[in-house]
Amino acid sequence: MHERLSMPFRLAAGAAALAFCASAGAVQRNVLVSIENLAPANSNSISFAPLHVAFNMGSFDAFNEGAPAGPEIISVAELGAGSEWQSAFAMADPTAVRGVIDAPFPLLPGASGSKLFSLIDTTLNPFFTFAAMLLPSNDHFIGNDSPIQYRLFDMAGNLAITSITLMASDIWDAGSEAFDAAKAAFVAGSDASLRNGGDGNVRFDFAGLAAFDGEDTPAYTFTSGLGANSEVYRISFAAVPEPESLALMLPSLLALGWVGRRRRKPSAEGADLALAAARTVC
């Protein structure tokens, strides 16, 4: 005859069942995303607005090379706020984990920042998408054209890549606003809320930034100094280990009186039954 399990043990077994079921069909990950402006710290080169990011299923395409820029990428490229990008992403991919890495702002040459993101299920969100305005500019930005360009997680939920490094040749011009330093972002005395009409389609163009050479910004007098192979931006990923399950359950078990104050130790057979019950529930 099996020994009767105490109420605290039965409650703990129920918690174990829920934890077992939650982990059976999903891979959870905490991911630290770090960003770096790779322009030398003592340079007067490009800076960046906040980075908009999303862990997603690869269904949202914010822009296409050679096509007119839509409101989604324009909201990033012209003022950096990205409200249309964020809302359109949420509508197209409701399960995506989205956010903004906005400190420090602006991301000056040599500066870096990071933010921690929690993903409940990496199988739902294996891809990584990003976009940020480049400063100073009217409508230059960085971002991935294809929504499935960067697969961040493999099928087991492990990081498939640990960093993305962008060159100057990866800088986009949205083609939604013609060059005008007086209406550009991050130029002293300018009003970026004003804009001229579009001057083309989305295209690669870092060379156009040299038109801002000599312009004063709030931080320095700008000099592009970029060549096609100049490294300009890095996004790095690091998995942050989850705490041990027992550590998470310990406060509840203490509150139930199961640890340290229980009168009877459940038999090994009873523990086996509890684990079997967890598997049955799943």
Amino acid at 126: P
How many CB atoms sit inside 10 A of residue 58's CB? 18
Say how far apart CA 219 and CA 262 lie, in whole Å: 64
Q: Is the pLDDT of residue 245 over 50?
A: no
State the maximum Cα–Cα separation within the chain, in Å, rounded to a whole number.
88
Pair 82, 52: CB distance under 8 Å? yes
Residue 156 structure tokens: 């087991």
Whole-number average pLDDT of the chain:
84
Query: pLDDT tens digits, residue range 88-118?
Result: 999 999 999 999 999 999 999 999 999 999 9
Out of 2.40.30, 1.20.1070, 1.10.1760, 2.60.40, the CATH code matching 29-240 is 2.60.40
Helix/strand/coil (H, E, C) string of 225-268? CCCCCCEEEEEEEEEECCCCHHHHHHHHHHHHCCCCCCCCCCCH
Query: pLDDT tens digits, residue range 57-76?
Result: 999 999 999 999 999 999 99
pTM: 0.79
52 has which bridge partners?
100, 131
pLDDT at 255: 53
Q: Domain-by-domain residue ranges, the chain?
A: 7-24+244-281, 29-240
Say how far apart CA 280 and CA 17 lie, in whole Å: 9
Query: pLDDT tens digits, residue range 130-146?
Result: 999 999 999 999 999 99
pLDDT at 169: 98
Query: pLDDT tens digits, residue range 188-207?
Result: 999 999 988 888 999 999 99
pLDDT at 32: 98
